[in-house]
């Protein structure tokens, strides 16, 4: 029997894949512009699989680029049966029917960029669709993580996120900015990991097309929000103190992703490729 959601799954997975391709191309083009006479960075592309089978994805990582010290742009489409811990986590979030039918399907794109120049902000973005027999929803968002903050960079980034939100609902930006501020807070440090952005999950308004269109808008907003900042700051002179500030901030970022991040926990618990799940970690960091 054909699942009526099959065509929607295919559309979403294909769109996430296409977005991944465009971002990879845009990042390599930025490398070309920043490199000058030096060799630009390029992505290494590796297929990924779930340990239990049931789909996989593409891990694309660039290391040692001219603009990017490390950046990963991953796409995945996975399916299978949720383990007991994941079932309980889903049930706690109000997903119906987990005890009767713990099948799942998920697809999305996940991106984290750590920059060479301490004045250029790190950034995270993801958009995804998740399906179970009892529910289907979208989630995602993007947040800026500068080690050295610039008010105009923050304003530009938030402006692009707000533009994407406002085109779909007048309250989305206010709601999802507040959610990001709460979600990306590091309790044991008593501070945010960056200057925020937007974050949403469990988005299922009853209009799948509208929810998908909004998720596409969030993905489309990413390059206009981030690329101008990355290019503007790539050539800013910096000191050893600036580099120390960057490495300490990366330590904060790593702590958050290993201790609190929902996507990290879910990826490891469902058997996805650990290298792909932990792609978000910085190449070098410091703690004091």
Contact call for residues 236 and 119 (beta carbons, < 8 A) = yes
Judge residue 209's burial from the number of C-beta atoms within 10 Å of its C-beta, 0-12 exposed, 13-18 middle, 19 or more buried: exposed
Ramachandran angles phi, psi of 199, nearest 5°? -150, 135
Cα(153)–Cα(145) distance, integer angstroms: 11
Sequence-ordered list of residues with C-beta below 8 angstroms from that of 203, at least 6 positions apart, any chain: 137, 138, 139, 211, 214, 215
Catalytic site residue from 114, 124, 158, 249: 124
114 is catalytic: no
Contact call for residues 86 and 266 (beta carbons, < 8 A) = yes
Ramachandran angles phi, psi of 113, nearest 5°? -125, 130
Contact call for residues 191 and 185 (beta carbons, < 8 A) = yes
Question: How far, CA to CA in Å, does 228 sit from each of 53, 224, 225?
Answer: 40, 7, 7
Residues forming the active site: 124
């Amino acid at each position: 029997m054909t699942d009526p959601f099959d065509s929607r799954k295919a559309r979403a997975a294909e769109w996430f894949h296409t977005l991944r391709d465009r971002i990879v191309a845009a990042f390599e083009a930025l490398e070309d512009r920043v490199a000058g006479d030096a060799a630009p960075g390029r992505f290494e592309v590796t297929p990924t699989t779930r340990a239990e089978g049931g789909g996989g994805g593409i891990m694309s990582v660039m290391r040692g680029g001219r603009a990017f010290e490390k950046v990963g742009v991953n796409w995945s489409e996975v399916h299978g049966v949720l383990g007991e811990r994941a079932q309980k986590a889903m049930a706690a979030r109000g997903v119906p029917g987990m005890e009767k039918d713990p099948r799942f399907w998920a697809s999305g794109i996940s991106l984290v960029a750590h920059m060479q120049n301490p004045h250029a902000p790190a950034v995270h973005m993801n958009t995804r669709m998740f399906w179970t027999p009892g529910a289907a929803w979208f989630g995602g968002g993007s947040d800026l993580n500068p080690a050295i903050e610039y008010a105009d960079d923050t304003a530009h980034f938030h402006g692009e996120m707000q533009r994407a939100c406002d085109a779909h609902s007048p309250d989305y930006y206010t709601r999802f900015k507040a959610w990001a501020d709460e979600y990306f807070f590091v309790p044991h440090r008593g501070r945010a990991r960056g200057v925020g952005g937007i974050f949403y999950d469990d988005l299922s308004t009853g209009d799948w097309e509208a929810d998908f269109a909004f998720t596409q808008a969030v993905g489309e907003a990413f390059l206009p929000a981030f690329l101008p900042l990355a290019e503007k700051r790539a050539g800013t002179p910096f000191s050893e103190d600036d580099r120390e500030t960057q490495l300490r901030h990366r330590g904060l970022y790593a702590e958050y992703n290993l201790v609190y991040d929902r996507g990290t926990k879910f990826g490891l618990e469902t058997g996805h490729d650990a290298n792909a799940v932990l792609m978000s970690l910085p190449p070098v960091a410091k703690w004091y």
